[in-house]
Amino acid sequence: MQVSLLLARQIIQLFLILLMGYATVKAGLLKASDSKVISVLMVYLVCPCMILNAFQIEDTPEIRKGLVYAMILAAAMHVVLLAVTALLRRPLKLDMVEQVNTIYSNAGALVIPLVQELLGQDYVIYSSAYIAVQLILLWTQGKNMLCEEEK
């Protein structure tokens, strides 16, 4: 029950952020084209800062071991998502953007606040490991998919 309430609260917060963005554009404070600047700030500043902040904990062998497991599981999960997307691409007529969106989710927006609330700040490092693996794959394999490059 607690997880459901936390998830609902996060979804409501994201919806409120969406409404504030809509109101900001309608009020003329921002243009729709400004979303690129905000996205760049999120990808190159906020997300790396969240990951670095998660790593500001005491270094122990258990944490290193858990971090390695989290990265292996993140890589395995992305392999599964790549395979499922490859299988469903033709039957669902997915274009390249839809395929990339299927493989690379917006995990950080919901997962990090949920982990913080349920398990505490010390466990955010493991969800950050997932996000780090995802960002590396997104900036390499995902970019290649979107740009239709072979290498």
Res. 83 pLDDT band, cuts 50 70 90? very high
Predicted confidence band at 59 (pLDDT cuts at 50, 70, 90)? Answer: confident
pLDDT in tens, 89-132: 999 998 888 888 888 887 766 777 778 888 888 888 888 888 88
Highest mean pLDDT among 3-17, 27-41, 73-87, 119-133: 73-87
Contact assessment for residue 65 and residue 126, using Cβ atoms and an 8 Å cutoff:
no
